[in-house]
Structure 1
Amino acid sequence: MPAIIAAALVFLSSAAVLVLEILAARLLAPYVGVTLEVYTAIIGTILAGIAFGSWWGGRYADRKDPHTLIGPFLIVGGILSFLTIPVVDALGTGLRGASPFTTVVLTFMAFFAPAAVLTAVTPAVIKIQLADLDETGRVVGRLSAIGTAGAIIGTFATGFLLVAAAPTRPTIRVLGVFLVALGIATIVYLRGGRQAVSLGTLVAIAVTGTLSFAARHPCDHESAYYCARIEVDPERPTGRALWLDTLRHSYVDLEDPTYLEFTYTQWFGDVITALAPDGEPLDTLHIGGGGFTMPQYLRELHPGSQSTVLEVDPLLVELSEDELGLELGDDIEAVTGDARLTATQLDADRYDLVVNDAFGGVSVPWHLATRDFLSQLDRALTDDGVMVANVIDYGPRDFLRSYLATTTSVFDHVAVLGRPDAFGPRDARGLGGNYVVIGSDAPLPVDAVEAANRSRGHVDELLHGDELVTFTGDARILTDDYAPVDQLLTPTPDA
């Protein structure tokens, strides 16, 4: 086998493994979300597949003629790539919101085998190229370097180009077709046209390809960040819910922007009412746009308000305009990009209110939960400006406590709204849900917030002062250098 062909086969098979690794996150997201645990499961599974494939492929190449193995390895790798889609759909439906253990199981079932089989190409090619033991180091080193280069190119091309240019599932299917075609071409080349692909192999390709193309897509819309869909509320015909991956993130009533479906958005409304009880306009910064619920609420009830929305995903801006009644204008401005970067461009001492509602899965993105970021928001607020932040936590609520400790390290006055009896002891079971953390350098209008809450017929709990200090305890402050948000968070209620 010419060295150039050997290099190409190692390069392409290694690149395919990393293409699958990057796309795995998007394929899994609609079922298990996007968390550190998901990325950990993917990286660990792919590394396990690479390790096993290197060992097994080398051992198999010693037992059989490697010329007869490379083509079949590529074909089987393509077949298994096809199967990642129906396997994730079949198993993922029953594992939505899965624990770290079941996330690892789902990832392993879908991606271990293709990673192992495609990795087995490299030792088979090395076996062919080793014509002289005196050149073992040079041959192994060269092909290992080429394989690593393929993995790097596969990573960069997928992360920077493919995810932004094409949906995940068609990309995986194209990869499967490419690997099958490359495998067939390799068989023809290495065997001189003899021993064509068997009927059984052709049937396997056809069946797995059909299963892949027939798999139901859980997304109506897909971006580099989210699998998104919009559903009509069957109990409220004008209501629209925006789903991102596994969670219902936003709700908008097309005919009544003042309607707030989610409890935490009603708490945002309570704070807004306390700050501007007579409908005065507010200059507001929104971290996370979602369905643009709160900017449209402010436009309706506080005419003249200015809303600057920092939204990472351009798709959500488009969906909100197309399907959720959003009309951008002088009073509502959308700035796309990561809020940690775009916030650096904000004017100091400008905003009356910051609405911090950015989420990745069930968690505030870690870099938006640190003292360093909250200090950026504090700089953008006026002297008596207020920040409100949505936090979800259950069980011992360790993340909530750390977020409160972090907020207290930045703002002079802090309070938190929660459901009645949501602030019980750490070892109490079943506690938690949404909380709204409130921070300001000026004394908070806690009485006005409670009055606004009671006026809606609610008796939610507002914790502040010594009670807040007791609840927070000795929780660690989150910083850019130390923010284990995923480890602190309990995403579901205790059993």
Structure 2
Amino acid sequence: MQSRWHNYFVYVLAFSSGFSIMGIELLGGRILAPYFGSSVHVWGSIITVFMLALSLGYLLGGRLSLHQPSLKKYGTIFIAAGAMLLPLIMAALPMLEWVFDRIEDARYGSLVASTLLFFIPTVILGMISPYSVRLLVTNEHESGQVAGVLYFVSTLGSALGTLATSFYLVLWFEVNTILISFCLLLVALGIAAISLNHLEGKDAQVLVKN
């Protein structure tokens, strides 16, 4: 029963990470638009940066999962991702102005700005999926099925994050308010994962004593 709830919790966190990634990516268009417009070039820059960052995150997350994977480390990834959204919230305008003043071509300006603003937090968010798979896999014969379900859940979160952000959130709230919400959500989930790890450790000690 404990293992089942553990797995459900990991799926919820993977869903939330997918939701957050796509929400942040869509907000990227709103953030860059006042300086570089919203042309296909700008969206091409944003998508390129997110795809490259996610690919690196998948690689790093897979490697990290090889070394004593735990909910504590898993939660730390979420907290780090939330923390790395703070520079985006607090320093986006000065960074955009700096890039805009130095790069006239909107194609390359938007590419540089997207890299400065979104690359690091997206790398960290990308680490979550492979680490989630490692936490869920207990039998190598089930690894394919587990990975399939995990990526289904994560991609479903991405789809709903896309719809929620583009259809509702951007109409109801300012961009920074939405980003702060994503930041708080990621940090809260990270703290929850660390707390659950602590509780599971206590339960294991009780079982050993008994």
Same fold at TM > 0.5: yes
Alignment of 1:168-207 (within 5 A): 168-192=175-199
Q: Give the whole-Å Cα distance in 2 for the aligned partners of 1:29 and 1:13.
A: 25
Q: Give the whole-Å Cα distance in 1 for the aligned partners of 2:68 and 2:111.
A: 33
Amino acid at match of 2:34: P
1:154 is aligned to 2:158: no
1:449 match: none
1:40 is aligned to 2:44: yes
**Which one of the candidate residues 14, 19, 25 is aligned to 1:21?**
25
CA gap 1:112/1:33 in 2 versus in 1, 3 angstroms = same
Q: Give the whole-Å Cα distance in 2 for the aligned partners of 1:55 and 1:95.
A: 29
1:124 is aligned to 2:128: no
1:163 is aligned to 2:163: no
SS of 1:62's equivalent?
coil
**Which one of the candidate residues 45, 56, 59 is aligned to 1:55?**
59
**Which one of the candidate residues 135, 143, 164 is aligned to 2:142?**
135
SS of 2:85's equivalent?
helix
Moved over 6 A (4+): none
TM-score norm. by structure 2 comes to: 0.86
Pick the structure with more helix per residue: 2
Q: Give the whole-Å Cα distance in 2 for the aligned partners of 1:73 and 1:38.
A: 29
- Contact 2:133–2:147 (CA under 8 A) maintained in structure 1: yes
1:70 is aligned to 2:74: yes
Query: What is the aligned-residue RMSD (CA, Å)?
Result: 1.7
- Contact 2:99–2:112 (CA under 8 A) maintained in structure 1: no
2:110 match: 103
**How many matched pairs?**
194
Amino acid at match of 1:132: N
Q: Give the whole-Å Cα distance in 1 for the aligned partners of 2:142 and 2:152.
A: 15
Most deviating of 30-39 and 72-81: 30-39
SS of 1:69's equivalent?
helix
Q: Give the whole-Å Cα distance in 1 for the aligned partners of 2:140 and 2:69.
A: 18
- 1:58-106 deviations in Å (ceiling 9; x for gaps): 1111124233321111111111122213342222112337422222111
Alignment of 1:242-257 (within 5 A): none
- Contact 1:41–1:104 (CA under 8 A) maintained in structure 2: yes
Q: Give, in angstroms, the shift of residue 125 of structure 1.
A: 1.6
Q: Give the whole-Å Cα distance in 1 for the aligned partners of 2:116 and 2:12.
A: 28
Alignment of 1:232-251 (within 5 A): none
1:145 match: 152
Listed as ranges, the gaps of 5+ residues in structure 1 are 195-495
- 1:218-259 deviations in Å (ceiling 9; x for gaps): xxxxxxxxxxxxxxxxxxxxxxxxxxxxxxxxxxxxxxxxxx
- 1:426-468 deviations in Å (ceiling 9; x for gaps): xxxxxxxxxxxxxxxxxxxxxxxxxxxxxxxxxxxxxxxxxxx
Listed as ranges, the gaps of 5+ residues in structure 2 are 202-210
- Contact 2:71–2:193 (CA under 8 A) maintained in structure 1: no
1:83 match: 87
- 1:331-351 deviations in Å (ceiling 9; x for gaps): xxxxxxxxxxxxxxxxxxxxx
- Contact 1:61–1:127 (CA under 8 A) maintained in structure 2: yes
State, as a whole percentage, how many aligned pairs show the same letter: 26
Q: Give the whole-Å Cα distance in 2 for the aligned partners of 1:5 and 1:109.
A: 32
SS of 2:112's equivalent?
helix
- Contact 1:15–1:155 (CA under 8 A) maintained in structure 2: yes
- Contact 1:66–1:125 (CA under 8 A) maintained in structure 2: no
Q: Indicate the structure (1 or 2) with the bigger Cα radius of gyration.
A: 1
Q: Give, in angstroms, the shift of residue 128 of structure 1.
A: 1.3
- Contact 1:14–1:148 (CA under 8 A) maintained in structure 2: yes
CA gap 1:148/1:98 in 2 versus in 1, 3 angstroms = farther
Q: Give, in angstroms, the shift of residue 25 of structure 1.
A: 0.8
SS of 2:71's equivalent?
helix
1:364 match: none
- Contact 1:82–1:176 (CA under 8 A) maintained in structure 2: yes
TM-score norm. by structure 1 comes to: 0.38
- Contact 1:27–1:85 (CA under 8 A) maintained in structure 2: no
